[in-house]
């Protein structure tokens, strides 16, 4: 978690260990067990694409130390196919699944399609119903410009929904956290090529500085296509531990 007293978790979308960085992890155990000895959080992206059996969630929870936490990404069936409409059954099924993580569930993550315009008659009732059933940290990553205004920010804050800070940012405000700012969820997707490119040392130094100023925060690297997420996350952990001193 960086320096003692600094409430920041750093991890990756998934827990793959690229061969080039295998030496940074223990040799024994499953991939998740090895990953969890180095990082203290991970984002479960696979739940966006397909459901997992309760036994799978329980196995993941049992594979990590007590301090480790997962973020679970809500299914695209909810966000992209139903577009937040008429999906109560899907939400209930998902919450039942991730409930198997018990105390190791750190966040729910709702990523919205770029085409989804903010419609208060749809989005707010959806989030209200979700809040009735889930009281923990909830992050929303909208991508349509209509979500990035003061009125929406106030609405999200009233529902205790944190708006993700993202890079690349589709609009300038998307780079900064919004909604409930008592905790922060930062997703770094790779730049300039989303999912593919690594962040250079200067960018990681800037990220570390921001994380030190923010309240309790998670930083998830999603530039996984070529394995750069692992290297960037390792470097950021070192920067935080060293007080954001730039690499040499």
- All domains in the chain, ordered by first residue: 8-241 (3.20.20.410)
> Tokens 């690499």 — which residue?
247
Segment 91-112, tens digit of pLDDT: 999 999 999 999 999 999 999 9
Looking at the predicted structure, is the pLDDT value of residue 4 above 70? Answer: no
With a cut of 70, say whether residue 3 has pLDDT above it.
Answer: no
Tell me the pLDDT band of 6, cut-offs 50, 70 and 90.
low
How far, in Å, CA of 128 to CA of 146, rounded? 19
pLDDT at 2 over 70: no
The string of DSSP letters for 6-70 reads: --EEEEEES----GGGGGGS-SSS-HHHHHTTT-SEEEE-GGGTS---HHHHHHHHHTS-TT-EE
Residue 117 in this model has a pLDDT that exceeds 80: yes
Nearest in space to 49 (alpha carbons), one of 11, 19, 16, 13 = 13
d(CA 25, CA 18): 10
Strands 178-179 and 162-163: antiparallel
Q: Is the pTM of this model over 0.75?
A: yes
């Amino acid at each position: 978690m960086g320096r003692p007293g600094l409430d920041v978790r750093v991890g990756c979308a998934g827990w793959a260990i690229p061969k080039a960085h295998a030496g940074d992890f223990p040799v024994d155990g499953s991939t998740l067990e090895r990953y969890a000895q180095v990082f203290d959080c991970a984002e479960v992206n696979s739940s966006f694409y397909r459901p997992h059996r309760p036994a799978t969630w329980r196995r993941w929870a049992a594979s990590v130390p007590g301090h480790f936490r997962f973020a679970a990404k809500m299914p695209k069936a909810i966000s992209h196919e139903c577009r937040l409409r008429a999906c109560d059954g899907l939400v209930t099924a998902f919450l039942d699944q991730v409930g198997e993580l018990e105390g190791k569930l750190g966040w729910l993550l709702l990523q919205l399609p770029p085409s989804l315009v903010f419609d208060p008659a749809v989005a707010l009732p959806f989030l209200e119903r979700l809040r009735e059933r889930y009281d923990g940290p909830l992050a929303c990553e909208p991508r349509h410009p209509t979500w990035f205004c003061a009125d929406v920010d106030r609405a999200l804050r009233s529902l205790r929904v944190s708006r993700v800070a993202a890079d690349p940012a589709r609009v300038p405000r998307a780079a900064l956290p919004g909604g409930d700012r008592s905790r922060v969820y930062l997703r770094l997707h790779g730049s300039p090529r989303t999912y593919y490119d690594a962040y250079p040392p200067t960018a990681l130094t800037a990220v570390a500085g921001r994380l030190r100023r923010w309240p309790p925060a998670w930083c998830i690297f999603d530039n996984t296509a070529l394995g750069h997420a692992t290297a960037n996350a390792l470097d950021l952990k070192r920067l935080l531990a060293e007080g954001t001193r730039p690499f040499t």
